Structure 1
Amino acid sequence: MGKNRYWIFITFSLAIIAVLAAASWWWLTRPLSPEQILQNLPRQMVQLQSYEFQNRAWLEVDGKKQDLSDLQGVKVGQDVHLQGQLLKTPLDYYQVKGKIYLKDPYGRWQQMPPPQAGSQDLIEILLSSWGLLDWGQGLKATDQITEAKVAGVNCYRITTTPRITNPYLNQAFGQFKGTLWLDQKEGKLYRVMLTGTHQKNPGVKIFINLDFRRHNQINQPLKPPVIP
């Protein structure tokens, strides 16, 4: 092979490699479809080892806002720490290794009995806000899909009329409207906003907002408070 042909061959080979590398990079980093993300979301949320979240919930009664919660939370494995305001009362709450710790109004830690299965306790509802939706329903023709950024991350914003799995909320508020923000590349859930109207009193609405951060970035286990 002549010298010129050799360099042409090398140049052509490098060009092919560059094209293949670019194609592979595009394939690995291409945005997932909303259908793929919703299909994978339940498994992904269960598999998440840790994340931070903020929960804000309130009622609107005849146009007047009544706060239910404004909480910061950390979840590591099955353990949770919640801190903030619940029903306008300070809350500091740990659930570690199946045991519940709650700070009383005098600043003393108390160990509480675990909630019963199927409990409608407000804390349990708030902790499982992302799980209130029936993810098995998939996308509907009436769902609206746009794009938006959350914390600098490119997300799909999906507006839907979801089915709610919590029987208390279903009975009281019936049909909900929901908006989800989902990372286009990795399918991470960044935000959920739910709105429901009371079935017997249309002047009463409930709003539940949940934001997620630091997916799988918390390495330290939660430690329960020390009770003297």
Structure 2
Amino acid sequence: MREKTLFFALSVLMVVVLGAGGFYLYHVLTRVEPGPLVEEVLQDALRASYYRYQISAEFEIEGRKQKWSQVVGEKSGNNFHIKGNILGTPVDIYQIGMKTYSCDPVSERWVILEGNDLSGEQMFMAEINPLKNFRFKRIGEPQLVGIEKMGKKKCWVIEFSPQVENDYLEAWWQNFTYRLWIDRKNHQLVQAKVTAENKNSPGSFLSLVITFQDFHKKFEIKPPQ
């Protein structure tokens, strides 16, 4: 009887210790100040001259979803390369210095435009330089909404409603919500989801999902052969 009582007491003690240890570990791992973390992560991302990304953009109009773009891209200094689909049209574009190389989807031949620079093209800015979407006048009050795994990376998930600093976005969209997946190990941006409502068409929404890789890892983008 005494042995059973002792075994029961030890079992209860073990559960309490493990529970307390688990709570402490969870508290340590999740303890984060969302506001300063978002500012740190965005400053690091906006400094990056080199990175790769995948982007998916769609509109929702009266409950019907329409794909705007599905693109993979890479940026190396002032040069970039994007490949994918925009508004149902295949695109494969290189910008190398002041030369634009564009693959004609019909002939599959490369068209070369001398003295041309697409980096300032507002309509396709999200596809050409997605970090332009992460400049804010104010970030509001970021909140930690969870912890998720993106591939092998454990990420904080932080959400906020900022005031954007982007003339094109401001002209057409409002009520922005940003959700960021931030690598807990190196404090780098792994993924972002942006949603907004159209100013001129209530009930119409934009959804933008961007996945980032290889921040600050130098690589060269060469012209197509």
> TM-score normalised to the size of structure 1?
0.74
Residue 121 of structure 1 corresponds to 123
SS at match of 2:185: coil
SS at match of 1:54: strand
SS at match of 2:158: strand
**CA offsets, 1:39-81, max 9 Å, x none?**
2234322443533210100111111111110111122233211
**CA offsets, 1:182-220, max 9 Å, x none?**
112311111111111112212311111100123344x54
Q: CA deviation at 1:181?
A: 0.8
Rounded to whole Å, the distance in 2 between the matches of 1:157 and 1:60 is: 24
Q: CA deviation at 1:138?
A: 4.5
Residue 225 of structure 1 corresponds to 224
Closer, same or farther in 2 for the Cα pair 1:47/1:168, shift >3 Å? closer
Residue 91 of structure 1 corresponds to 91
Percent of paired sites with the same residue: 24
Q: 1:80-159 alignment to 2 at 5 Å?
A: 80-105=80-105, 106-112=107-113, 113-115=116-118, 117=120, 119-122=121-124, 124-135=125-136, 137-138=138-139, 140=141, 143-159=143-159
Residue 203 of structure 2 corresponds to 203
Structure 1 ranges of 4+ moved more than 4 A: 30-33
Whichever residue aligns with residue 179 of structure 2, its letter is T
Rounded to whole Å, the distance in 1 between the matches of 2:47 and 2:134 is: 17
**CA offsets, 1:129-159, max 9 Å, x none?**
3332335635516x34422221221211111
SS at match of 2:163: coil
Q: CA deviation at 1:83?
A: 0.7
Q: Are the aligned partners of 1:68 and 1:87 in contact in 2 as well (CA < 8 Å)?
A: yes
Whichever residue aligns with residue 224 of structure 1, its letter is P
Instruction: Report which stretch shifted further, 154-163 or 130-139.
Output: 130-139
Residue 187 of structure 1 corresponds to 187
SS at match of 2:170: helix
Q: Are the aligned partners of 1:32 and 1:184 in contact in 2 as well (CA < 8 Å)?
A: no
- Stretches of structure 2 lacking an aligned partner (at least 5 in a row): 1-29
RMSD: 2.6
> TM-score normalised to the size of structure 2?
0.75
Number of matched residues?
A: 194
Whichever residue aligns with residue 102 of structure 2, its letter is L
